[in-house]
Amino acid sequence: MKSLPLLLIFLLSCLLFSISFSSPPEESVSSHSHVLPRPLIIEYPDGVGEKENYNDDQRELLQLECTSWRFAVESNNLRPWKKIPLECADYVKDYVTGRAYKMDLDRVSNEASFFARSVQIGDDGNDVWVFDVDETLISHLPYYAQHGYGLEEFDSVAFDEWVDKAMAPSIEPSLRLYEEVMSLGFKVFLLTGRSEKQRDVTVQNLLNVGFKNWDKLILRGAEDHGKLATVYKSEKRIEMVKDGYRILGNSGDQWSDLLGSAMSTRSFKLPNPMYYIP
Amino acid sequence: MKSLPLLLIFLLSCLLFSISFSSPPEESVSSHSHVLPRPLIIEYPDGVGEKENYNDDQRELLQLECTSWRFAVESNNLRPWKKIPLECADYVKDYVTGRAYKMDLDRVSNEASFFARSVQIGDDGNDVWVFDVDETLISHLPYYAQHGYGLEEFDSVAFDEWVDKAMAPSIEPSLRLYEEVMSLGFKVFLLTGRSEKQRDVTVQNLLNVGFKNWDKLILRGAEDHGKLATVYKSEKRIEMVKDGYRILGNSGDQWSDLLGSAMSTRSFKLPNPMYYIP
């Protein structure tokens, strides 16, 4: 009987923890509000979610919940989100700085490479592989390491300052794929949500880290600003198809790189649990 | 120096392990071969993959590799596969029989429910939610428990015998979603890869476990046999759109339930690391 209070505290903690994960706040939402970013989970009152005090079972549950959250991100099941869940901050940091992220990047590159080698390329030079740029070819981990790996809300001013340095490192498995699809005879189109104003730093950054000889680099023009990425990228892919290109492969870290109109024959989703672009 | 042989054995094991995961066998493949099922990873010679002998680091690596493989399944990055990787047999069993699978099913149901409540339903009764059946509404875990949770190649005779028993249990979070979208005013269309010959047992099984009042149950007719699921399901969705329906939501455990033509506004991918349908 001495352990009853402890048991009750434990059960209560489990309950609070479970509520915090499974019941995001109801919101009054209008039609199509699902495309507007909003926080996944509200921040908790002090005392809830202090992981230092977790016992082994709570830690295991946290690991399971954050893995489940990450699965939902990667399979495009989540409503739009602006920040990673507070409780998963350590989990996301461990993931992107550890072996698992590298392993996932390697696997998606290998699978894309396998597909690229398996398809017949026409001799008209019209077979295209589309690559997104940020978190697909080059990595902003050095920036996100300074900004909680997604725990802070996106700061476009600070981010653009970082982009202007043109110092984002390459994602090596993507560089390998990039060079391979080029050598197989694909045209390579880079389709990025960056602004046309960032063309020079983008070119410089890509060249700095080994990407070269792309066939097109498409950035947002004045008329594209304010469009959802899915819409903007779909429009650009529709133009490619109208120009006679066949989009066989598409690599991107956001589902908004891959879904919409004029979708590629096969899409490859690179992992990114740090941020979401609708 | 005494530990040198041990170190060598460890390094060799790591190497073998790493090769087994990172280099699936090259195959001579023809155009569009990516849509034909083929094993993900070949089986290994005896002695490789005996997990009982793994040390802690090897076990951790195995856990990471199988998680990475599962991510690749759920984000649709893998080439078609017929069996789960031999090394991940315990991992997949632990996942589907443990808390993680339930958690993922809950999350996708909750996210779908949030979306369903957020969209405006027209008053013409033409807003549709499409559900796949197997591993979406009802579960074949009792069958797969007898067949290695995906480790054995698909046996259509044994599987059909199980289906004919009409004893597949419901997936509770999906039943919750099913009832909710119906109460919100969606038409509910069930679109399954099962044959028209299985209509009666399918109806019986669904009713047995609480699914009722669906608006349509679409099964493969004689003309649909041999079609890839993506093609068959796209054709059926195109018909729905031609009939004036708006497909707002679609729930399925296979990407072939969700991708193709006449895609829904939002798709929800239920987890399934046990089998793959192209």
Which two tokens mark B272? Answer: 């399934």
> A99-269: what CATH class?
alpha beta
Query: What single-letter amino acid sits at B258?
Result: L
Quote ipTM for the complex. 0.83
| Separation between Cα atoms, residue B110 and residue B177, nearest integer Å | 8
Report which secondary-structure segment, H or E, holds B131. strand B127-131
Residue numbers in A near B61 (CB within 8 A): 99
Phi, psi (degrees; rounded to nearest 5) at B263:
-70, 155
**SS3 for A5?**
helix
Q: Is B67 on the interface with A (CB under 8 A)?
A: yes
Contact state of B108 with A77 under an 8 Å Cβ cutoff: yes
| Separation between Cα atoms, residue B270 and residue B101, nearest integer Å | 10
Of A24, A34, A269, which is closest to B77 when you measure between CB atoms? Answer: A269
Q: What pLDDT, in 10s, does the model give residues A247-278?
A: 999 999 999 999 999 999 999 999 999 999 99
**SS3 for A261?**
coil
B102, burial (CB in 10 Å: exposed 0-12, middle 13-18, buried 19+): middle
How many Å lie between the alpha carbon of A198 and the closest alpha carbon of chain B? 30
- What's A138's DSSP letter? B
A22 CB contacts (<8 Å, ≥6 apart)?
Answer: B106, B107, B110
| Cβ–Cβ under 8 Å, residues B66 and B21 | no
B167, burial (CB in 10 Å: exposed 0-12, middle 13-18, buried 19+): middle
Contact state of A104 with B32 under an 8 Å Cβ cutoff: no
How many Å lie between the alpha carbon of A160 and the closest alpha carbon of chain B? 29
Q: Is B88 on the interface with A (CB under 8 A)?
A: no
| Nearest-by-CA chain B residue for A117 | B29
Q: What is the pLDDT along chain B (278 residues), one digit of tens a residue?
A: 344 455 444 444 434 444 333 333 333 333 333 333 333 343 444 444 567 788 999 999 999 999 999 999 999 999 999 999 999 999 999 999 999 999 999 999 999 999 999 999 999 999 999 999 999 999 999 999 999 999 999 999 999 999 999 999 999 999 999 999 999 999 999 999 999 999 999 999 999 999 999 999 999 999 999 999 999 999 999 999 999 999 999 999 999 999 999 999 999 999 999 999 99
| Nearest-by-CA chain A residue for B21 | A107
- HEC string for B197-265: HHHHHHHHHHHHCCCCCCCEEEEECHHHCCCCHHHHHHHHHHHHHHCCCEEEEEEECCHHHHCCCCCCC
CA angle B38, A126, A184 (to 5 degrees): 50
Q: What pLDDT, in 10s, does the model give residues B129-161?
A: 999 999 999 999 999 999 999 999 999 999 999
Q: Is A25 on the interface with B (CB under 8 A)?
A: no
| Cβ–Cβ under 8 Å, residues B176 and B170 | no
Pairs of CB atoms within 8 A across A/B: 110
Contact state of B268 with A77 under an 8 Å Cβ cutoff: yes
| Separation between Cα atoms, residue A30 and residue B266, nearest integer Å | 16
| Separation between Cα atoms, residue B39 and residue B275, nearest integer Å | 11
Contact state of B114 with A79 under an 8 Å Cβ cutoff: yes
Residue A20: pLDDT over 70:
no
